[in-house]
Amino acid sequence: MIRIMKYNYMKLLSDKQYLNDIIGEEDGKVYKIKFRLRNGYVVPLIIVFDDFFPAHLPLVSIDTDCFHVPKKPHILRSGLICYLDKEGVIWDTNPSILLDLVFERVEDILLANSEIVEFHREFNYYFSTLNNLKTAFSIYNKTNRVEQINVYTGKNSAPICFLADDEQSIKMLERLYELKITNLPNKALFIPLDKTYKGNVPQGDQFWSAEEIQNLILEHTTEEKIEQLKIFAKNKNNYYYLLEIPLITGQRVRIGLWYKKIEGRSTKSVPIIEYDPSQVFEILPIFICREDDNSLIKRGGGLTTNSRILLVGCGSIGSDILFLLARSGIKEFTIVDNDKLSMENSYRHFLGMNMAIKAKAKVDLLKKEIETRYPNTNVEALNTDILVAISNKQVDLEEFSLIIFAIGDPNVERKLNELVLETNTPAIFTWVEAYGIGGHALLVNITEKGCYECLIKEDLSNYAAFAGKSDIPYTMNINGCSGTYTPYGGVDSMQTALIATRLALSLVRGETTENCLVSWKGQAKQFRESGFSTSSRYEESLDVLENGTTNFIRTDCRVCGKRGSR
């Protein structure tokens, strides 16, 4: 039970010099007020508090009993004033100061100019307030041509998804909706307008009329496109359109239209440009959620490059890396692993227990999972050993933008390092240490000097390691040889995957321009209690460890030491 703070709102409001004629019950939450703007205008408002003020801000709206609703951005037709996009603001909890904040923002909105550009900036928002609005996806990517495209429809012919008429789009639709599509009978016309639209933004009950839409198309589109449109004349009961409209702000907004014939003779036509009063259509606006790549990935903060990544090792670190890279917008992967997902490791693997129980190859399970989650991602799965795959030319290291090794096997990694250095492809080696004392990601083959071999000291210990030299292996064994494992948790592998992925992304973005070693460092208490000691590198500051270092480079390295400066 939350204890509810009681405020004397009447007093709080009365204390404000800029508020007058306050009407409301002494211990109520709804008040009518007259708000005097600094430029002298007086606007009657209604302010409504709830039980959780000041954690919740009060609702403020125009008192529509005695004032009209100004046509200004952020004032809804109901009169509600959207004065604060509360995401991203922390406010003072002093109720009096908070009221000042509220009224300062409300005043900003009431004083703001109501030029059309402000409405265009929020086009999608206003459009989304339309009555009878339908919502559909678009996985149709940008062209500048008038084009006939597919529209996937549901019950009562309602549009669900606009997509191009090609195999890849249909495949993506199938993955998105997890269905098999054999036939897409409904077609839509994609019409990109050429001239900037400068008119009103439809909202609430004010949608464009058939004539207005016709004028919108005719006045903002080249004659050539209009002629093209006419070619697509059909005799149908449902016509669908996907429009792209350039706005004053420079943005191009997409909206959909659904013309549903109510009555009229049957004739071939393009009703959107051939307004004919003898044919009656119900015109329904469609709000378009964009599923096409660019808009989504950008929103996810990711990349839109054409990088192709080879990921070797799909254990706990590798599976997390794959997931993180896919989330970041990388779409082309080849993954290599010859292991099956086992129940024992399911807690620290990305796929989890329900997948482990299938006892299938990790690569196949991951391919399915990632392609289902991100239907426009392509994963090539190779259930094999990497060295075998390279030697029988199943994998050509030169084909990739980046290689990531997450296999945790130093002996194989030394060999792979040699192979990588013969190519032009950069590679990241990543591994986690026992008991959560840390993890590492090493980027090589960007610059000449510095490679995995540099890490291997003469006594065969690893330069990067946080664990001191020990003769006892750090592995544990619950159940004989087959149960050997390195004790670390899912958090540790994920943390390692994070630094490796960050390194990969900064490389793809062109931010990292030299070979480097990045590490994260965890607590060593449990590690020491188990009888181990930490290395001197463990004592280095987090700054040095996390920001990436080139200190590991050995000029006398047997692999990279002989290379000249590129």
Contact positions vs another protein (CB under 8 A): 17-18, 37-41, 43, 68, 70-72, 85, 87-92, 94, 96-97, 100-101, 103-104, 110-115, 298-299
Minimum separation from the CB atom of position 85 to another protein (A): 7
Measured CA angle at 381 (ends 378, 384), to 5 deg: 160
Radius of gyration from C-alpha coordinates of the chain: 31
CB nearer to another protein: give 125 or 208.
Answer: 125
The letter for the amino acid at 4 is I
Nearest in space to 553 (alpha carbons), one of 472, 469, 463: 463
Measured CA angle at 470 (ends 344, 516), to 5 deg: 80
Nearest in space to 52 (alpha carbons), one of 96, 106, 2: 2
CB nearer to another protein: give 54 or 159.
Answer: 54
**Residue 88, SS3?**
coil
Backbone angles phi, psi at 529, to 5 degrees: -65, -25
d(CA 227, CA 231): 7
CA dihedral over 141, 144, 147, 151, signed as positive or negative: positive
Strand partners, 35: 19, 43
d(CA 53, CA 8): 12
d(CA 369, CA 223): 47
Minimum separation from the CB atom of position 94 to another protein (A): 7
CB nearer to another protein: give 96 or 267.
Answer: 96
Nearest in space to 6 (alpha carbons), one of 49, 46, 48: 49
**Residue 97, SS3?**
helix
Minimum separation from the CB atom of position 113 to another protein (A): 5
Minimum separation from the CB atom of position 211 to another protein (A): 24
CB nearer to another protein: give 132 or 251.
Answer: 251
ω into residue 410 within 30 of 0, thus cis? Answer: no
Minimum separation from the CB atom of position 104 to another protein (A): 4
CB nearer to another protein: give 94 or 141.
Answer: 94
CB nearer to another protein: give 268 or 373.
Answer: 373
**Residue 286, SS3?**
strand
SS3 of 118-179: the string is HHHHCHHHHHHCCCCCEEEEECCCCCCCCEEEEEEECHHHCEEEEECCCHHHHHHHHHHHCC
d(CA 430, CA 500): 6
E strand or H helix at 47: strand 42-48
CB nearer to another protein: give 88 or 564.
Answer: 88
Minimum separation from the CB atom of position 35 to another protein (A): 12
CB nearer to another protein: give 71 or 358.
Answer: 71
CA-CA-CA-CA torsion for 25, 29, 33, 38, nearest 10 degrees? 140
CB nearer to another protein: give 41 or 52.
Answer: 41
Give the long-range contacts of residues 232-235, CB within 8 A, separation 24 or more: 232/146, 232/148, 232/189, 232/270, 233/268, 233/269, 233/270, 234/187, 234/268, 234/269, 234/270, 235/266, 235/267, 235/268, 235/269
CB nearer to another protein: give 89 or 181.
Answer: 89
Minimum separation from the CB atom of position 103 to another protein (A): 7
Minimum separation from the CB atom of position 93 to another protein (A): 10
- Kindly report the number of other CB atoms within 10 A of residue 518's CB atom: 23
Minimum separation from the CB atom of position 110 to another protein (A): 6
CB nearer to another protein: give 44 or 352.
Answer: 44
Minimum separation from the CB atom of position 14 to another protein (A): 16
Contacts (Cβ under 8 Å, ≥6 apart) of 7: 49, 53, 95
Angle between helices 316-327 and 490-508 (to 10 degrees): 40
CB nearer to another protein: give 113 or 536.
Answer: 113
CB nearer to another protein: give 38 or 145.
Answer: 38
CB nearer to another protein: give 112 or 498.
Answer: 112
Minimum separation from the CB atom of position 235 to another protein (A): 40
Minimum separation from the CB atom of position 397 to another protein (A): 37
Minimum separation from the CB atom of position 3 to another protein (A): 24
Minimum separation from the CB atom of position 19 to another protein (A): 11
CA-CA-CA-CA torsion for 475, 476, 480, 482, nearest 10 degrees? -50
Minimum separation from the CB atom of position 205 to another protein (A): 18
